Homo-oligomer: A and B are copies of this chain.
Amino acid sequence: MPEPTLLVLDADPPPRLGRLSGRARVLHADAHTLADLLPLADALLVWDFTSDAVRRAWPGDGPRPRWVHTASAGVDHLLCPELVSSDTVVTNARGVFDQPIAEYVAGLVLAFAKDLPGTLESQRRRRWQHRETVRVAGTRATVVGSGPIGLAIARTLEALGVTVAVVGRTGRTGVHGPGDLDRLLAGADWVVCAAPLTGETRGMFDAARFAVMRSSARFINVGRGPLVVEEDLVAALGKGSIGGAALDVFAHEPLPEQSPLWDVPGLVVSPHMSGDTVGWRDELAAQFVDLYERWADGKPLANVVDKKRGYVTGHD
């Protein structure tokens, strides 16, 4: 039996798939060649997870990969109706980003509480400006998103003495349902968005949501840019209806140099890096190789995405 054809939608640097040699015929595609190569592939690795080329190039009824893996937690960049309704299995990089993103969020919470941005700005001006800071232990956070990233954020903040409520699409033990969202936003010192981008969640953080938050609340988005109505966030910061915000993800990435978001007072802008710790690409490649070997051996895959919902469903 010939080895399966693995198509890699590349990014720079490409994945290191050493262990696969002999077990796959590897082809490489970029956004321009993807449509031509997809019909030849048994499996597709979406290594360039910043591209939405898959959504645009996915073949309708024609020959197509039986398995698509994306080296990302979110799958919003590849799910098109034809892929959702097909029998192609989609898997994601569940697990790789949990702890790094949780640490990133904890770092932002502490930076806000201790006003580290203000300290760095005073340092630049050579000003000794003593300020009182906020004790993080005893504050309250609401984390929106109950996947492994949201739960890791909750655990990490709890370790700092923060009381955390998690909100998911459906309530379950330890997770609140959407009916509790506005009440929990109203009581939170920290609101963290770690939800998947789906039809239901797009634009969920809008003017009405910011209006229910405390004027001292800080909002942190590490999910996907379109979860937030950016102009509503800017307006909320301008009116002081929330106390500050940090965005690691944006509707348009990379954020253009002329974007007004760069210099909104009280807003920290970072370049979609919250989950990317040293070695992350090797972790992603190793995770894919493990999945590939299972797939090639006919074993059940892990991290299978519920394509209709737009994320991996699970019991955690």
Please give the residue numbers on chain A whose beta carbons come within 8 Å of chain B beta carbons, in ascending order.
Answer: 99-100, 103-104, 106-108, 110-111, 113-114, 116-117, 119-120, 122-123, 126-137, 156, 159-161, 253-255, 257, 259, 262-263, 268-274, 276-280
Report the separation of the CA atoms of residues A107 and B114 in the bound assembly, to the nearest whole angstrom.
8
Question: Which among B100, B123, B136, B263 is the interface contact of A103 at CB below 8 angstroms?
Answer: B136
- B107 near A137 (CB under 8 angstroms)? no
- Report how far A280 CA is from B130 CA in the complex, Å: 13
| Residues in B neighbouring A161, C-beta threshold 8 A | 99
A113's partner among B107, B119, B156, B279 (CB-CB below 8 A) is B107
Once bound together, how far apart are the Cα atoms of A280 and B117, in whole Å? 21
Give the residue of B262, B269, B276 whose beta carbon is less than 8 angstroms from that of A133: B276
Complex CA–CA separation, A137 to B155 (angstroms): 13
Shortest beta-carbon distance from A114 to chain B in Å: 5
Residues of B close to A106: CB separation below 8 A: 106, 110, 160
User: Is A268 within 8 A of B107, CB to CB?
Assistant: no
Closest to A106 in B: B110
Which one, B116, B126, B273, contacts A257 given CB within 8 A? B126
Known: A128-B255, A277-B133. A120 touches B120 (CB 8 A): yes
Pair B278/A132 contact, Cβ less than 8 Å: yes
Contact A126-B262, Cβ < 8 Å, known A110-B110, A270-B119: yes
